[in-house]
Amino acid sequence: MPLFDKQEFLSELIDRTDLIASHVQNFLRLDNEVLNAKPTSGKWSIAEIFEHLNRIHETHLKSVLTRITSAPDVQELTYNSGWIGDFAYGKIVPRPDGTLLRIRIPKIFHPSAKDLDGREVLQHFLQQLDTLHDIIRHSSTKDLQGIKIPFAFAGLVRFRLGDMLHCLVAYSERHVLEARQVSLPTT
């Protein structure tokens, strides 16, 4: 499994969350009609994509926060990814050519069928991204291998804290890419 310099690993995740936030800011320029427009039948609108991300983040960030706030500080210099986290990351992360592997998710994480206030959904996502950013910074003093986080898609599976953070960032990148494919060419 990959061995990372802990501070470089966390620094890269922070940079990636900053880039995600930059892309999301572009969506805030769009009006609600565009944010709720479905590209084709069966595909999610931009607002639905981010509502889905909000549901994923609400579940996982709450779980991460409860574990890291009570965890003791440690002095580790490296982080070794686990095989489950490494496998999941490989399935989640967008490919270099921009393609995505299809992933099935439980219906509880699907967006609601109602009309959404796209700007509100995007603002909520940006707040959650700030929380993720803070968690990543705070994790620099935590045991990225020893703290285990339940994975919402598979109840008995637990990820290492580092793997969970890695996957949450990749999952956000994946859906920002998907939203950019739905949006106007200017975003």
Q: Judge whether 187 lies within some domain.
A: no
| Cβ(20)–Cβ(172) below 8 Å | yes
* pLDDT, tens digit, 9 for 90 and up, residues 41-60: 778 899 999 999 999 899 89
113-131: average pLDDT: 91
Phi, psi of 28 (to 5 degrees): -65, -20
Q: What share of the chain is helix, strand, coil (3-state, %, to 5)?
A: 60, 10, 30
Domain holding 138, by residue range, is 3-182
Q: How far apart are CA 5 and CA 27, in angstroms?
A: 34
Q: Judge whether 164 lies within some domain.
A: yes
* pLDDT, tens digit, 9 for 90 and up, residues 67-86: 999 999 998 999 999 998 89
Strand partners, 149: 159
Q: What is the pTM of this model?
A: 0.89
Which CATH number belongs to the domain containing residue 65 in this structure?
1.20.120.450
Q: How far apart are CA 33 and CA 53, in angstroms?
A: 20
Q: Judge whether 9 lies within some domain.
A: yes
pLDDT of 5 over the 50 cut:
yes
State the total domains in the chain.
Answer: 1
Q: Judge whether 65 lies within some domain.
A: yes
